[in-house]
Homo-oligomer: A and B are copies of this chain.
Amino acid sequence: MTTTRAPRRDAAENRDALLAAARVELNLDADASLEAIATRAGLSRRSVYGHFATRDELLRELLTSGATRVSHAMAGVDHPDPTIRLALIASRLWFEVDDIRVMAVFAVRGPLKTHTAAALQPLRDRVLAAVVDGVALGELRTDIPAGRLARLVEDSALSALAASSRDNIAAPEAHRLAMLLVLSTVGLSATEAAAVIDGTPELAWPAR
């Protein structure tokens, strides 16, 4: 068999640095050049090709790594109340802002659309399930079909993320904003949403 020998330690670090740099740079500009990414990672453009065959491959890797990160963050989200579950998803998601935003961009534009959509699917399924449950229990609005509503929940979460970065809102406030918006989208009034959040310890900003 043709075993690929383990990479050198610094090489592995640089590889990670490239991915991290890409995450940052693509959040600033979705069309960032490899030059820009490499520079941010402290490497030369030429070296990128030592780690990734093509720009596309870098992106792919970034997206799938983001996806696993997110799905890892989703582990253990299983509150019996679907409304709270949604808020919980929003909460967890908030901590993966960077990944989420990159994925959101590439889920819409460019040739990686389908790839990204696929990576995002499990998350979407979770949201959809929560929405369906919530509607069935009469907790959520019924004037918008569940499937559509689930996508809108996504959008509202993204709006919150966008708002946080453009107004650079302090973390705890941004975190709450994400939950508030999701709950509003799903049909709760502002006061109801606040009640849900404040009445559920798991939704509080984690003490440090």
Contact = CB atoms under 8 A, between A and B. Distances in A.
A55 interface: no
A64 interface: no
Interface in A34-65: none
A44 to B, nearest CB: 27
Given A189-B187, A189-B188, A192-B189, A152 B143 contact: no
**Copies of this chain per assembly:** 2
A11 interface: no
A185 interface: yes
Interface string A144-169: 10001001100110011011001101
Contacts of A159: 152, 155-156, 159
A181 interface: yes
Interface of A: 29-30, 109, 140-144, 148, 151-152, 155-156, 159-160, 162-163, 166-167, 169, 177, 180-181, 184-185, 187-190, 192, 194
